Amino acid sequence: MQGELARLGYQIAASTIWKILHQAGIDPAPRRTGPTWQQFLTAQAHTILACDCFTVDTVLLKRIYVLFFIELATRQVHIVGVTTHPTGAWVTQQARNLLMSLEQRAHGLRFLLRDRDNKFTAAFDTVFTAAGIDVLRTPPQAPRANAYSERWVGTVRPECTDRMLIVGERHLTTVLTEYIEHYNGHRPHRSLGQRPPNPPPQVVDLTAARVQRRPILGGLINEYSQAA
C-alpha cells in the first residue's frame, strides 16, 4: 500500500512539474546525454590548447623529440622545445615557458588536451591547473581524441622534416622556427577559409598587384607577397 501511494505521489509531482515548465514555455530537453567528443571540441575550441610530441631521426641516427602546442580555435602552433632526452622536468619547464610567452592570451584558455605519455607528469599538469586551466587526458591508445595535434604532425612531416636531412638539435630548431613562421603567418588553412592562423594585417589584391616569390627552407616551400 505504501509503495502504491509513493508511486502515485511521484506521478502527481511529475505531472505538476511538467505543467509548470510547459506554461513557462520550457520544452523537454532534446538530449539527456552529454555532447559527443567532436561536439565538445568544436564548441569549446576557442578555450582549448592541445599538446603532443613527435620525433625526427637525424642523419647520425639520433632521435630528437619535438614538443609543441596548438591553439584549436586559430590552429596557431607553438614549438616550445627540441631535445634528445625528453624528461618530465624538461617538459614541465617548457610548459612554464609557454604560459609566460602567451601572457594575457593564457587567461582565455580553460582546457589543455594531452595524451597519457609518461613525460606529462603531475608537475606538468600543475603548471596549467595553477593557471586555471583544466587538463583533459585522452583515452588510452586513442590518437583520434587528440586529432588536431595528430593532424598537424601529419602536416609538418611531409611538408618539412621528411624532406630534409637533419643533422642535430640546433639544425632542427632552425628548420622548425622557419617553418612555424611560415605555417602561422602564410600557409592557408582550409578550415579557416584559406587564411593562415595568424594572417598579416594587410590583404593583397592579387589582380592589381605584382607578386613576389620568397623561397623558404632553401626553396622547399615558397611564399608569395606583394612586390614593393
**133 burial level (CB within 10 Å; 0-12, 13-18, 19+):** buried
- Look at residue 128 in the predicted model and tell me its pLDDT: 95
DSSP of 153-183: HHHHHHHTGGGS---SHHHHHHHHHHHHHHH
Residue 57 to residue 75: CA distance in whole angstroms: 26
- Look at residue 193 in the predicted model and tell me its pLDDT: 79
142 DSSP assignment: -
What ranges do the domains of the chain cover? 37-201
Find which of 3-7, 8-12, 189-193, 207-211 is predicted with most confidence, using mean pLDDT.
Answer: 189-193
- Look at residue 21 in the predicted model and tell me its pLDDT: 64
What is the per-residue pLDDT across 172-195, written as a single tens digit (0 to 9) for each? 999 999 999 999 988 888 877 778
Q: How far is CA 177 from CA 81, 116, 139, 145, 195, in A?
A: 11, 27, 31, 27, 20
Find which of 79-83, 184-188, 215-219 is predicted with most confidence, using mean pLDDT.
Answer: 79-83
Residue 5 has pLDDT above 50, yes or no: no
Quickly name the fold that domain 37-201 has.
Answer: Nucleotidyltransferase; domain 5 (3.30.420)
- Secondary structure (3-state) at 56: strand
Task: Calculate the CA 212 to chain-centre distance.
Answer: 32
Residue 208 has pLDDT above 80, yes or no: no
